[in-house]
Amino acid sequence: MITRSIRFRMALWYAAMLAGELVLFGAASYIGLERYLQKSLEESLVKQARSIGDVLIVNINQSGEDYVTNEITEHYSPEINGRFIRVTRADGRQIFISGLPKDGTFDPARVPPPQLPVSRAFSHEVEMSDGHELLLHALPYESRDGAHFLIEVAAPYNQIESVLRGLLLTFGLGLPLIVTLAISGGYVLMRRALRPVDEIRQKAAQISSRNLSERLPVVRTGDELERLATDLNRMIERLEESFHQINRFSADASHELRTPLTVLQGELESVARTSSNLPAEIRETIGSALEETHRLTKIVENLLAISRLEAGEARKQLERLDFAELARSTADQMRLLAEEKHIHLDCNGAESVEVEADPARLKQVVVNLLDNAIKYTPESGRVSISVMKQDGRAVLEIADTGIGISRDDLPHIFDRFYRADKARSREMGGTGLGLSIVRSICLAHDGQVKVQSTEGQGSMFHIELPVARDKRN
């Protein structure tokens, strides 16, 4: 369970609120019930005292004390009902006192005697020495013959307490159960409600500048999540459009630059050819202008290549081809370049490795990597190229014994225009675009490119592509 997820937090909040509300409700019910029970108990005591007076004590001079005590025992059965009844004359003589109740909660003999005389009826709590509490109602009563009595009726609080204890127990057991049910129910509901968010998140994590044509899933629920997904999709659409515009712009710009550059180059070359009678200084200037035009042409060509790759043209002409053969023939074409620097160029791997790719683009990958290997390896060094199958993938490795790449530069060499040593690269005619083209082509072919390098010892570039599927399938 992810404790930082919205659904977990919501379920927790929900449970905490519910628990709080239930506790408040429980407390209110407890207090309300306690008051109600106490009031009804008091009312029943008052009623009983009055009825003893009105029915029995009122005519006591005629019926006699014995009759009254018998009647109380018979009609009110205090021992069975757990009640305390005591009738006292004004002079303090006790006419009646109830016996030990059936459940033995209190001892009637220990109830403190009344403070006579009592002029008004009142109720009060009596604390017994054993800790029990009684609610006692005392009613002064005058019989028909004018004699004064005090009728006391009491009941133990534990009758109320046992009801309240039952209520507490119900709450105590019910509350955790309800809260647990609420948490699990809430969690499941939230999970279901937030599932589209997870789907949107997963899809959003996959979308990059290379697959901006893809869209987030929209669940037609009409709620905030549908609107969120729709609005995010509109945003991706606008981003896609901007990307297209930028690409179109750089493709158009490079294309437009090509023609005047070719003309300029041609004119400079023709001047250079007929410049034997010009002063040496001017000849040198023309030479360096020509060199810069070559560089500029290369940058323009590379930029055009990148914008075409970005526009999805990296796999324009897909065909089945032997990667090993392609690497071998490209290496042969570049052998002259290596020989000029007395670099030994090895070509390994006789087995054919079929891939499905755009041949011109794949060749560009090999050319760019070999060009770098030769360019950044000092004279008499060694460059080796091999193609093989590894774990069901087509692998091209180009290793050199060149200058290597520092740890700081390594993460950036695939960035556009990044050159580890600007002065050296520029001197060698580098634009810093070769490896970024390599990476774009590899990614477009569902492949990847990795590099290992030690400064001063050499580098190894490792390309992986999916092998072509078996023809029979």
Which residues lie near ligand ATP (CB under 6 A)?
A: 302, 368, 372-373, 376, 400, 402-405, 413, 418-421, 425, 430-436, 459
For the chain, the three-class secondary structure string (H helix, E strand, C coil) is CCCCCHHHHHHHHHHHHHHHHHHHHHHHHHHHHHHHHHHHHHHHHHHHHHHHHHHCHHHHHHHCHHHHHHHHHHHHCHHHHCCEEEEEECCCCEEEECCCCCCCCCCHHHCCCCCCCCCCCEEEEEECCCCCEEEEEEEEEECCCCCEEEEEEEEECHHHHHHHHHHHHHHHHHHHHHHHHHHHHHHHHHHHHHHHHHHHHHHHHHCCHHHCCCCCCCCCCCCHHHHHHHHHHHHHHHHHHHHHHHHHHHHHHHHHHHHHHHHHHHHHHHHHHCCCCCCHHHHHHHHHHHHHHHHHHHHHHHHHHHHHHHHHHCCCCCEEEEHHHHHHHHHHHHHHHHHHCCCEEEEECCCCCEEEECHHHHHHHHHHHHHHHHHCCCCCCEEEEEEEEECCEEEEEEEECCCCCCCCCHHHCCCCCCCCCHHHHHHCCCCCCHHHHHHHHHHHCCCEEEEEEECCCEEEEEEEEEECCCCCC
The item of Mg ion, ligand ATP, none sharing an interface with residue 156, based on CB under 5 to 8 Å by kind, is none
The item of ligand ATP, Mg ion, none sharing an interface with residue 306, based on CB under 5 to 8 Å by kind, is none
Pairing of strands 344-348, 382-390: parallel
- From the CB of 309, what's the least distance to Mg ion, in Å? 16
Half-sphere exposure of 191 (CA within 13 A, CB side): 9
Q: Which of 143, 196, 438, 205 is CA-nearest to residue 306?
A: 438
The item of ligand ATP, Mg ion, none sharing an interface with residue 433, based on CB under 5 to 8 Å by kind, is ligand ATP
For ligand ATP, the closer of residues 128 and 451 by Cβ is 451
- From the CB of 433, what's the least distance to Mg ion, in Å? 8
- From the CB of 371, what's the least distance to Mg ion, in Å? 5
- From the CB of 257, what's the least distance to ligand ATP, in Å? 16
For ligand ATP, the closer of residues 126 and 261 by Cβ is 261
- From the CB of 417, what's the least distance to ligand ATP, in Å? 8
The item of Mg ion, ligand ATP, none sharing an interface with residue 402, based on CB under 5 to 8 Å by kind, is ligand ATP
The item of ligand ATP, Mg ion, none sharing an interface with residue 459, based on CB under 5 to 8 Å by kind, is ligand ATP
- From the CB of 5, what's the least distance to ligand ATP, in Å? 43
The item of Mg ion, ligand ATP, none sharing an interface with residue 7, based on CB under 5 to 8 Å by kind, is none
- From the CB of 436, what's the least distance to Mg ion, in Å? 10
For ligand ATP, the closer of residues 48 and 436 by Cβ is 436
The item of ligand ATP, Mg ion, none sharing an interface with residue 98, based on CB under 5 to 8 Å by kind, is none
For ligand ATP, the closer of residues 203 and 298 by Cβ is 298
Q: Which residues bind Mg ion (CB under 5 A)?
A: 372, 434
- From the CB of 454, what's the least distance to Mg ion, in Å? 19
For ligand ATP, the closer of residues 58 and 460 by Cβ is 460
The item of ligand ATP, Mg ion, none sharing an interface with residue 425, based on CB under 5 to 8 Å by kind, is ligand ATP
Q: Which residue is nearest to ligand ATP (CB)?
A: 434
For ligand ATP, the closer of residues 106 and 376 by Cβ is 376
For Mg ion, the closer of residues 8 and 418 by Cβ is 418
For ligand ATP, the closer of residues 48 and 377 by Cβ is 377
The item of ligand ATP, Mg ion, none sharing an interface with residue 133, based on CB under 5 to 8 Å by kind, is none
For Mg ion, the closer of residues 318 and 460 by Cβ is 460
For ligand ATP, the closer of residues 85 and 398 by Cβ is 398
The item of Mg ion, ligand ATP, none sharing an interface with residue 53, based on CB under 5 to 8 Å by kind, is none
Helix axes 6-55, 65-76, angle to 10 degrees: 150
- From the CB of 360, what's the least distance to ligand ATP, in Å? 17
- From the CB of 410, what's the least distance to ligand ATP, in Å? 9
Q: Do 64 and 71 touch, CB atoms closer than 8 A?
A: no
Backbone conformation region of residue 222, classed left if phi is above 0, alpha if psi is from -120 to 50, else beta: left
For ligand ATP, the closer of residues 88 and 377 by Cβ is 377
C-alpha–C-alpha distance, residues 238 and 234, integer Å: 6
C-alpha–C-alpha distance, residues 262 and 276, integer Å: 23
Structure tokens at 286: 């023309």
- From the CB of 431, what's the least distance to Mg ion, in Å? 8
